[in-house]
Amino acid sequence: MEKFHCLECDKDFKPGDWICMPGVQHRVATKRYFMDDAPTVTEWRDGRPYINKGASQTVILNIPPERMIREGEQTTRLPGGSVIFIRVCYETADPEIQFHLDRKAGLCTEQRWREVYLNDDEKFQIKNLDLAAREQRLVDRENDLLSSVKARTREVAKA
């Protein structure tokens, strides 16, 4: 049986036990979900087709699903919720939503999402950003090493 760990009360809990304390739901580590099919809407800009991915949204209804709560002879119907995938990506720390999305068909890994959703130009830009970040980390590391060597040299010179 699957277990979750609450970041609020620092306890493990099972699916179905979504309440941490009265009036407060459990909160777990944030998780990202990606859709395998990426809806896009073509617009016309400057006489050419343009895909505005920023406007891409998909609503999935009934996550979490509708529930019936029975108290004595009275039954109360709690309607299901909905989640909105923006650019076919959704992020949540709600364990109940994670539980249902983990069982939902049509979702994929981030790697698959990048392959399907990003065009060649976006992939190139991401690769350039990753390369620039890697180069910056190397420069920072070199500067740290240089600073530590200079500090040691000063210590040796004082001694």
Is residue 39 scored above 70 in pLDDT? no
The predicted structure's pLDDT at residue 91: 96
pLDDT score at 54? 67
For residue range 94-120, what is the model confidence (pLDDT) as tens digits? 999 999 999 998 899 999 888 877 878
Q: How many CA atoms lie within 13 A of 28 on its CB side?
A: 21
Inter-residue contact 62 to 82 (CB < 8 Å):
yes
Spatial distance between the Cα atoms of 146 and 5, rounded to a whole number of angstroms: 43
Average pLDDT over the chain, rounded to whole? 88
Residue 19 has pLDDT above 70, yes or no: yes
pLDDT value at position 149? 93
Cβ atoms within 10 Å of 34's Cβ, excluding its own: 20
